[in-house]
Amino acid sequence: MSAIGPSHRAKFILGFASIYLIWGSTYLATRIAVQDLPPFLFGAVRFIVGGLLLWAIALRFGNPPARIARGEWKHLIIVGLCSVTLANGGNVWGLQWVASNQAALLNVTCSFWIPILGMFGARAHALTARVGLGLAVGFLGTALIFGPGLQETALATHAKAGAAPGGGLLPSAAILFGCLTWAVGTIYIRNVDTRLDVLSFTGLQMLCGGLLMLIPAALAGEFGRWHWSGPGMAALAYMTIFSSCIAYSAYAWLSVNATPAQVGSYAFVNPAIATVLGWWLLDERLGAAQLAGMAVILVGLLLVNWPARAR
């Protein structure tokens, strides 16, 4: 691997800081939103508005092609379906019954799916022994964070939200399925040959995914259940601007410029961020096991992201 220039290194730092910090807070924000807003319609509005904002920014400051080819639309629809409609749809639907910290733990599976699927394709990247060890260490750290008290939190959430479909298994399965489709979309972006810049591609695939999410919203009869609420609108605004526009753009750039294992490392960090925010804002527990888990996660991240020796 050749040396990384200062500007490129700065993009790496800003990109990972965005997906680590912003997406670490999205479990809390989504959990708040789906208590007031219908889940699929919430996701559709979030991504349609976010996609239009990014596309407008790309038109103003970027250099998108005058005409988008049919093949480009195929890529945009596939990525939008996998990364937005199925991935986000599974998460927002499941978070009606699954505790936010439990959902964060389920999303750790992304950190395994992404490097595993990244071993295939035009830009395949093999897993080294050190990266594999880092993934295992990162998973151990996440288990330490959510091991103590996780069952009690899950039971309390189920009792408050009401009976979950399938006895609680179906919402968790929906989140896990969303993790798999998210990984598929990530690797597709990594291998796709496109003339669109990052802002244009991200904005349009979000727009496609948001429009497709209107289908399950209509089937579930959510249009008649939409209402304006302060907490719901605040969560929607935060998720649209920070999570969709900023973090998604950073993730799209990292999907192409970082290794699959590095990209997937966000799934280890997000639960730690979610735990700290829960302790700070919701008076949730933060004991010795959680602090030890964060230290273990840091070791795993160093193993995954430490630069390889230049050849």
- Find the mean pLDDT for residues 226-243: 92
- 139, 108 Cβ separation under 8 angstroms: yes
Q: Which two three-digit tokens encode residue 71?
A: 């093949």
Q: Is 221 helix (H, G, I), strand (E, B) or coil?
A: coil
Q: Which two three-digit tokens encode residue 132?
A: 């594999």
pLDDT in tens, 196-212: 888 899 999 999 999 99
Q: Tell me, what's the pLDDT at 304?
A: 74
User: In the predicted model, is pLDDT for residue 187 greater than 90?
Assistant: yes
pTM for this model (two decimals): 0.81
Q: Which residues contact 268 (CB under 8 A, 6 or more apart)?
A: 108, 111, 138, 139, 141, 142, 297, 300, 301
| Higher pLDDT pick, 161 / 9 | 9
pLDDT in tens, 82-124: 999 999 999 999 888 877 767 777 787 787 888 888 888 777 7
pLDDT in tens, 241-289: 999 999 999 999 998 888 887 888 888 788 778 777 767 776 666 667 7
Q: How far is CA 277 from the centre of its chain?
A: 17
| Chain position carrying tokens 């020796």 | 309
